[in-house]
Amino acid sequence: MNDLLRALRAWPTLLRVGLAEMVAYRAELVIWILTSTTPLIMMVIWSRASQDGAVGDYDADALARYFVATLIVRQLTGCWLVWEMNQDIRTGAFSVQLLRPVNPLLIHAANTLAVIPFRVLLLVPLVGALLLWKPAAADALGQVAWLPFALSLTAAWLINFFVQAMMGCLAFWWRQSLGIFNVWHALFLISSGYVFPLSLLPPGIRGFAEASPFAYLMSAPVELLSGRLQGAAAWQAVGGGALWALLCGVGAAVVWRRGVAHHEAVGA
Amino acid sequence: MNRTLGALRAELRLAAMTALAYRASFFGEALLALLTIAWTLLPIFVLYDQRAGIAGWTRDEAMLVNGCFILLEGLMSALIEPNLRAVVEQVRDGTFDFVLMKPVDPQLQVSVHRTSPTRLPHALAGLGVVIWACLQLPKPPELGDIALAGLLLGSGLLILHALFTLVVSTAFWFVRVDNLSYLLTNTLDVGRWPLTFYEGGLRFFLTFVVPIGLMTTWPAMALRGLLSPGEVAMGLAVALGFSLAGRLAWTTALRRYSSASS
C-alpha cells in the first residue's frame, strides 16, 4: 500500500520527465509514430473494393469511418514497452530501474502516457486530410456513445500495456522475447479488426476473434467511435474490455513478480 | 578481384555456419514463418469473399502479388536487412573502423557479413505461394514469362538494397536510424496489394519514387503475361538508377565519416 502511495505521489513528476524526454527525442518519435500506417493502406484498399457497392454490412462511407477510427485508436493505445524491456533487460539497464523506489512498470506507463499529446498533434493534420478526402467519415460523430468509447479506449490501452508487460517479462528468462510478441502481433492483425471489420470474417474465425482480447484492443473502441454500437451493445463492449484488462493485469502482475525474482542482472 | 571473392565466400560460409549452430531456433523460426504467412494471407480471402475481381485482379492473381511480396520480404530479411542494420550499430560503437581497415570494398563487406540464412524458409514459403497461385491461373505462365518475372524480382531486390543503403548512409550523420529502417519495412507493406488498387498520384509514387509496386506487382503481371520486354527493361533501368544512387550516397557518406577514434 505504501508503495502505491509513493508511486502516486511520484506520478506527476514521472509524467513531466516523460514529457521532457519526448521533446528531446521528438524527431525520432515522429518516425516511430509514422510506422503505424497500416490503417491508411487498408483504407485505400477497402475504398477501392467498395466502389461498386457495399461490402458485407459496410458501405463505402462506413468503411471510411471505420478506418479513420482505426487510425485514431491505434495511435492512442500504442505502446513500446515490450521493445524497451527487451533491450533494457539484455543490456542491463533494467537493473538500474529496479533500484528506484518506484516500480519500473509505472515509470514506463507514465512515459507511454506522456507520448499521447504528441500522437494527437500528429493525428490532427492526418485525420483532417482524411476527412477532406472522405467527408462522410465525420457523419456519424453525432451518434457516438462518448462515455463508453472513452472507457473502452482506456481498457484497450490497459490490455495492450499489460500484454506487452507480460511478454517483456519473458525476457527475464529468455533474454529475448520479441519472437513470441511477433506471433501475438500476427494474431492481432487478423483477429482485432485492424485490417478489416470483424463482421467480414467467416463465422468460425469470427466467433474466436470476437471473444478474444484482440477484439477489445481494436474492434470494440473502433466500432464505438464510428457510431456502430449504441445502448446495451456499447456497454457490453465496455464490460468485455474491462474483463480482459483485469485478466491481463493479474497475469502481468504474476509474471512480473516471478520474473523479477528470477532475474539475475547482467553483471550482478 | 580474387581477394574480394575469397572474402565474400568466407563471410557467407561464416553466416551459414552460424545459422547451423542454432538448428533448433532455425526450425522453430521456419515453423513460425509458415504459420504467420498462412495468417497474413487471410485478408485476401476476406476481401475476395465479397468480390470476384477488384481493379482487374482476381483472388488468385492478387495472391500472386502477395506471394512475390512474401518472397522478397524473406530475401530482404535474410540478405539485406540484418547486414545494413548492423552498420548503424557499428557506426555507433566504433567497430565500423575495422571494416574500413580491411582491403575489401566496404559496401560489399557490410552487404554480406551479417547475412542470416535462418530467414530463407520465409522466402521459400513466398515462392510456394507464387507457384500455388500460378497453378490456379486460367493460363499457366510460359517459360519466357517466368524469366521476365525472375528478372523483375531480381531488380526488386536491387532496389531494396539501394533503399536500405540510402537510409543507412544517413547513419553517419544521425547515428540513430534504426527507426528509419523500421519505417521503411513498414512502408513496404503497401506492396502486398496490386498496384491498380492505388489511384492517381499514389500509384505513380509507388511505381517510380519508392518503386514498391514495381517490385511486387510487375513480376506478377509478367507471370500473367501482361508485360512487354520494353516494360521489363524500364524496370531494370529503375533498379540500376536506384543502385547508382545508393552507391553515390554511400561513398559520399564515407568521405564525410571521420571515424570513431580520430
Q: What is the pLDDT of residues A233-259, one digit of tens each?
A: 999 999 999 999 999 999 999 999 998
> Average model confidence (pLDDT) for chain A?
86
Beta strands of chain B (E only): which ranges?
A: 53-54, 57-58
Q: How far is A45 from chain B (nearest CA, A)?
A: 6
Tell me the three cell numbers of residue A210. Answer: 470476437
Task: Please compute the mean of the pLDDT values over residues B191-216 and round it to a whole number.
Answer: 85
Q: What is the pLDDT of residue A1?
A: 58
Which residues on chain A are in Cβ contact (under 8 Å) with B197? 44-45, 48
Range in A64-73, B86-95, B236-245 the model is least confident about: B86-95
Residues A77 and A152: beta-carbon distance below 8 Å: no
Q: What is the pLDDT of residue A266?
A: 54
pTM: predicted TM-score of the whole model, two decimal places: 0.83
At residue A222's C-alpha, the angle toward residues A207 and B32, to 5°, is: 55
- Three-state DSSP class for A37? coil
ipTM, two decimals? 0.74
Contact B49 A200 (CB under 8 A): yes
Q: Which residue has the cell 483472388?
A: B59
Q: Which residue has the cell 548503424?
A: B88
Residues B97 and B261: beta-carbon distance below 8 Å: yes
Distances (CA, A) of A192 to A48, B14, B79: 22, 41, 32
Look at A169 and B112; give whichever has higher pLDDT.
Answer: A169
Q: Does A32 contact chain B (CB < 8 Å)?
A: yes
Which residues on chain B are in Cβ contact (under 8 Å) with A187? 39
Contact B32 A45 (CB under 8 A): no
Task: Give the DSSP letter of residue A79.
Answer: -
Task: Provide the residue count of chain A.
Answer: 268
Task: Please compute the mean of the pLDDT values over residues B105-125 and round it to a whole number.
Answer: 82
How far is Cα A15 from Cα B240, in angstroms, rounded to an integer?
50
User: Where does the pLDDT of residue A219 fall: very low under 50, low under 70, confident under 90, or very high at 90 and above?
Assistant: very high
Look at B36 and A113; give whichever has higher pLDDT.
Answer: A113
Reply yes or no on whether the pLDDT at A223 is more than 50: yes
Optimal mutation site among A45, A192, A198, interface B, most CBs of chain B within 10 A: A45
- Three-state DSSP class for B51? coil
User: Where does the pLDDT of residue B260 fall: very low under 50, low under 70, confident under 90, or very high at 90 and above?
Assistant: low
Contact B39 A201 (CB under 8 A): no
Of A35, A41, A46, the CB nearest to B182: A35
- Three-state DSSP class for A102? coil
Residues B194 and B217: beta-carbon distance below 8 Å: yes
How far is Cα A69 from Cα A172, in angstroms, rounded to an integer?
36
- Three-state DSSP class for B138? coil
Q: Does A9 contact chain B (CB < 8 Å)?
A: no
Contact A182 B36 (CB under 8 A): yes
User: What percent of chain A stands above pLDDT 70?
Assistant: 97
Total beta-carbon pairs less than 8 A apart between chain A and chain B: 72
Q: DSSP labels for A171-222?
A: HHHHS--HHHHHHHHHHHHHHSSSSS-GGGS-HHHHHHHHHSHHHHHTHHHH
Which residues on chain B are in Cβ contact (under 8 Å) with A49? 47, 50-51, 54
Residues B238 and B208: beta-carbon distance below 8 Å: yes
Residues B195 and B203: beta-carbon distance below 8 Å: yes
How far is Cα A17 from Cα A107, in angstroms, rounded to an integer?
10
Reply yes or no on whether the pLDDT at B262 is more than 70: no
- Three-state DSSP class for A265? coil
Q: Does A30 contact chain B (CB < 8 Å)?
A: no
For chain A, which residues make up each domain, given as ranges? 2-266
A27 membership: H or E segment, kind and range: helix A26-34
Q: Which residues pair with B57 in a beta bridge?
A: B54
Reply yes or no on whether the pLDDT at A147 is more than 90: yes
Contact A196 B39 (CB under 8 A): no
Q: What is the pLDDT of residue B127?
A: 92
Tell me: the pLDDT tens digits for A23-67? 777 777 777 777 777 888 888 888 888 887 788 888 888 889 999
How far is Cα A38 from Cα B219, in angstroms, rounded to an integer?
23
Strands B53-54 and B57-58: antiparallel
User: Where does the pLDDT of residue A268 fall: very low under 50, low under 70, confident under 90, or very high at 90 and above?
Assistant: very low
Contact B49 A38 (CB under 8 A): no
In A, minimum Cα distance to B31 occurs at: A183
Residue type, A135: P
Contact B35 A201 (CB under 8 A): no
User: Where does the pLDDT of residue B129 fall: very low under 50, low under 70, confident under 90, or very high at 90 and above?
Assistant: very high
Dihedral angle of Cα B37, B39, B42, B44, to the nearest 10 degrees: -20
Reply yes or no on whether the pLDDT at A156 is more than 90: yes
Q: Whose CA is closest to B181, among B42, B91, B76?
A: B76
Reply yes or no on whether the pLDDT at B177 is more than 70: no
Q: What is the pLDDT of residue B209?
A: 81
